[in-house]
Amino acid sequence: CQGRGSAANSAVCYCLHITEVDPSRMHLLFERFVSKERDEPPDIDVDFELERREEVIQYLYTRYGRERAALAATLITYRPKSAIRDVGKALGMDPDLIDLLASSLSWWDKPDVLEARLKDAGLAPSSRLVVQFLALVNEILGFPRHLSQHVGGFVISRGPLVNLVPVENAAMADRTVIQWDKDDLEALGLLKVDVLGLGMLTAIRKSLDALNAHRGTTLRVADIPPEDPETYRMLQRGDSVGVFQVESRAQMAMLPRLKPQHFYDLVIEVAIVRPGPIQGDMVHPYLRRRQGVEPVVYPSEGVRRVLERTLGVPIFQEQVIELAMVAAGFSGGEADQLRRAMAAWKRRGGLGHFEQKLIDGMLARGHD
């Protein structure tokens, strides 16, 4: 198994071999893991071998009993395509037309696109069927459709779960599911442990087993040499098919541009090819500075300490926390609350009440 996410910021997790990264060596923030303002237990995500994940799940059921352990649910809500299919079916529309309409939409399309698609299909916008169809589709967007199993969220209680939450048997044998999602569980303060499966851990284990069987060795993951020059030369060519985290087309296109030479370069590589940095226009400034085309300027020595490793470009969530602390005077817990609000602003909003404190704090420290 392998811990990931905010657990990497905990020295205790490192000492217990939940994670393999020394947080003191990597300059990680403990507030990212736990803080007094959060008033909740730390969230530790642990990846297990995909092929052995069911063993872990059944161990939890055996250890705590089916009456005290269950998987959390995920609430599936109506999106445009599912709304089109269900409303069209309810109104008795032609199945081929429903498929055509649903398949013609992309997630970024605006609401009025559906009406244009109906026109293209030869339906009059003023017809009763079309008016009713559009009204119902727009009305149920975001409504709950059905419950599904969370990918790995396990709830464990001291007493019987049925005294706290509604529980049902899952479709899969020997599994029990709570009828609430992770947000409901968090609101009630119930303990959730994420038991996640990662196929690459299985691939690594099988690769080492095959290598050891062929060479008669006893190599482990810990024996893989760090900072291997030939590996970095391979990655700089974009030759990363089958290499975990950097095998997507976007990552393969970025590798020859970023030219990683050290492990931390790969950390940046993985983090920067994501929607946040891309939409925030962080990719090109970082590449220009890395290539020496653009100078790196810091407004203060404190900001330099936070952003020096990423050449003045904020890429990581830990940097958001540190910047709020250094540049605006936030406490560690307040800065982590800001980070959490930023991560969930599309779903919940909640950034507004941080705005004035950020502005006032930055102005007071000369960051205008």
Rounded to two decimals, the pTM is 0.69
Average pLDDT, consecutive stretches of 10 residues, N- to C-terminus, the chain (368 residues): 75 82 68 65 80 89 90 89 93 91 79 81 86 92 88 86 89 85 83 85 91 92 84 95 91 94 91 87 93 91 90 87 87 79 63 83 85
How large is the greatest C-alpha to C-alpha distance in the chain, in angstroms? 76
Alpha-carbon gap, residue 141 to 87, rounded angstroms: 11
Alpha-carbon gap, residue 210 to 215, rounded angstroms: 9
Place of tokens 């905010």: 6
Domain ranges of the chain: 79-141, 229-290, 302-364
Determine the pLDDT at residue 83. Answer: 92
Alpha-carbon gap, residue 258 to 313, rounded angstroms: 14
Alpha-carbon gap, residue 328 to 335, rounded angstroms: 9
**3-state SS string over the chain?**
CEEEHHHHHCHHHHHCCCCCCCCCCCCCCHHHCCCCCCCCCCCCEEEEEHHHHHHHHHHHHHHHCCCCEEEEEEEEECCHHHHHHHHHHHCCCCHHHHHHHHHHCCCCCCCCHHHHHHHHCCCCCCCHHHHHHHHHHHHHCCCEEEEEEEEEEEEECCCCHHHCCCEEECCCCCCEEEEEEHHHHHHHCCCEEEEEEEHHHHHHHHHHHHHHHHHCCCCCHHHCCCCCHHHHHHHHCCCCCCCCCCCCHHHHHHHHHHCCCCHHHHHHHHHHCCHHHHHCCCHHHHHHHHCCCCCCCCCCHHHHHHHHHHCCCCCCHHHHHHHHHHHHCCCHHHHHHHHHHHHCHHHHCCCHHHHHHHHHHHHHCCCC
Determine the pLDDT at residue 186. Answer: 79
Question: What are the tokens at 29?
Answer: 């923030």
Determine the pLDDT at residue 116. Answer: 84
Determine the pLDDT at residue 139. Answer: 92
Half-sphere exposure of 111 toward its Cβ, with a 13 Å CA cutoff?
A: 8
Question: What are the tokens at 55?
Answer: 């063993």
